[in-house]
Amino acid sequence: MKIIKAAVAGTLESSDLMVKVSPSSGGLEVVVNSEVMRQFGRQIRKVVDETLKKLEVTDGTIVIEDKGALDCAIRARLQAAVLRGAEVEELNWSQLS
Amino acid sequence: MKKLRRSMLFLPGSNAAMLSTAFVYKPDSIMFDLEDAVSLREKDSARILVYHAIQNPAYRDIEKVVRINALSTPFGLKDLEAAVRARADVIRLPKTDSANDIHELEEHVVRIEKACGRPVGETGLMAAVESASGVVNAVSIAQSSPRLIGIALAAFDYVMDMQTERGDGTELFYARCAVLHAARVARIDAFDAVFSDVNDEEGFLREVELIRKLGYNGKSLINPRQIELLHNAYAPTREEVEYAERVVVAAEEGEKAGLGVISLNGKMIDGPIIDHARSVITRARASGIRQ
């Protein structure tokens, strides 16, 4: 999936996260900032990497500000931001599950 | 035992915090709302959030209902696709005006169930009636599909359609009775409208007492604080439970003795009274004793 424009999903409220994506042709850059990085940083990164891999995102800049969201919210917000950035309307459910 | 549906808690589908914690309040059902509680620009993101949230194992033991947007909107079918694929227990259709609305919904549900490998027939449906047409057609709506688990009255759009406003309940009198009768004809559950002033506990309890006495199974709720109040109001009193237990004991003794008709404290006890007594005991097991 190719990110063709800047897009945002989520909020900075507690238990949520904000994901910003923007296009880039120089590979994939992922920045994760989290209030619970020390305890859950590895798990958050795992969810983010798996989600991006399923969406086949290979280029772009992804910046995540996590406020203690559950895995399901991380997955959902990241998917929403990428789909918006890629201007994808029709969902491929196998990439989201 | 029949599924209890006293409390159906509305959750805005775009609110990650509420979706991450609502299971702790233990309502009988949680309704993940993709319709009115979600702004137009967040429809896509809320749909994906609800899709993942309802697959969270924390919601395993709670009935999961998804209120989709009407199928006539650009969002309805996409919402339905997400909800059925996520294995929501029930799809709540807003603005149901006729049985045809449910037939159309069911056709799409069957298609999606087949596409995602879900057993055909597994997804339940629920009709929300929000207009004069919906109320007048309530019986045919309630009988429109074996998938229907309930019919709900949604008051805000209904009172606007009736050219009136929310007040002391007079404005909903006919609709409440019509929807409830339709539910009973079809042997499905009936849900009352939300009570929106969360700080008016007395008003909420007055409304709950009214709908409980009418015979409603439960009520849609917009705040977790209303759950315990509602469950308590639906719990039988200690006197009701003690009397029900005496009725059941008398009925069992009468049956053993081969008596056709039995009496308790000089009053005849027949089938409906025994059935009612058993239902009181069942409710007490589920809801406890009213405090």
Last residue of a domain, one of B234, B252, B272: B234
Q: Is B19 exposed, middle or buried (0-12, 13-18, 19+ CB in 10 A)?
A: buried
Question: Does residue A80 sit at the B interface (CB-CB below 8 Å)?
Answer: yes
CA distance B36 to A27: 40
Containing structural domain, residue A82: 7-88
Residue A16 has its nearest CB partner, among B17, B55, B81, at B17
**pLDDT tier, B205 (very low <50, low <70, confident <90, very high otherwise):** very high
Phi and psi at B98, nearest 5°, equal -155, 170
Q: How far is CA B193 from the centre of its chain?
A: 10
B133 and B265 fall within a common domain: no
In a domain, B197, yes or no: yes
B177 and B279 fall within a common domain: no
B121 and B48 fall within a common domain: yes
Q: Note every long-range contact of B241-246, with CB atoms under 8 Å and residues 24 or more positions apart, other chains counting.
A: B241/B280, B241/B281, B241/B284, B241/B289, B243/B277, B244/B276, B244/B277, B244/B278, B244/B280, B244/B281, B244/B284, B245/B277, B245/B281
- Mark the ranges of chain A whose per-residue pLDDT is less than 50: none
Cβ atoms of B130 and B179 within 8 Å: the answer is: no
CB pairs under 8 A between A and B: 60
Containing structural domain, residue B94: 7-234
B172 and B56 fall within a common domain: yes
Q: Which residues of B touch A16 (CB under 8 A)?
A: 16-17
Task: For residue A49, give the CATH number of its domain.
Answer: 3.30.230.10
Tens digits of residue pLDDT in B124-159: 999 999 999 999 999 999 999 999 999 999 999 999
B107 and B193 fall within a common domain: yes
Cβ atoms of B22 and B43 within 8 Å: the answer is: no
Q: Which residues of A touch B53 (CB under 8 A)?
A: 72-73, 76
In a domain, A49, yes or no: yes
In a domain, A2, yes or no: no
B186 and B278 fall within a common domain: no
B170 and B249 fall within a common domain: no
B138 and B275 fall within a common domain: no
B155: which residues sit within 8 A by CB, 6+ positions away?
B166, B172, B175, B193, B194
In a domain, B77, yes or no: yes
For residue B2, pLDDT beyond 80: no
CA distance B193 to B134: 14
CA angle B215, B13, B85 (to 5 degrees): 90
Question: Does residue A74 sit at the B interface (CB-CB below 8 Å)?
Answer: no
B135: enclosing H helix or E strand: helix B132-136
In a domain, B206, yes or no: yes
Identify residue A50 by its one-letter amino acid code: E
Q: Which residues of B touch A69 (CB under 8 A)?
A: 16, 20
In a domain, A73, yes or no: yes
* DSSP code of residue B202: H
Q: Residue B134 has what pLDDT?
A: 98
Q: Residue B267 has what pLDDT?
A: 86
Tens digits of residue pLDDT in B206-244: 999 999 999 999 999 999 999 999 999 999 999 999 999
**pLDDT tier, B283 (very low <50, low <70, confident <90, very high otherwise):** confident
B116: enclosing H helix or E strand: helix B99-116
Q: Identify the residue among A55, A70, A78 best suited for mutation to test binding to B, counting B beta carbons within 10 A and taking the highest.
A: A70
Q: ipTM exceeding 0.90? A: yes
CA distance B59 to B151: 23
Number of domains in chain A: 1
B258: which residues sit within 8 A by CB, 6+ positions away?
none
Q: Residue B291 has what pLDDT?
A: 84
Number of domains in chain B: 2
**pLDDT tier, B1 (very low <50, low <70, confident <90, very high otherwise):** low
Q: Which residues of B touch A93 (CB under 8 A)?
A: 81, 85, 116
Q: B269 or B154: which carries more pLDDT confidence? A: B154
Q: Is B36 exposed, middle or buried (0-12, 13-18, 19+ CB in 10 A)?
A: middle
Smallest CA–CA distance from A96 into chain B, residue: B48
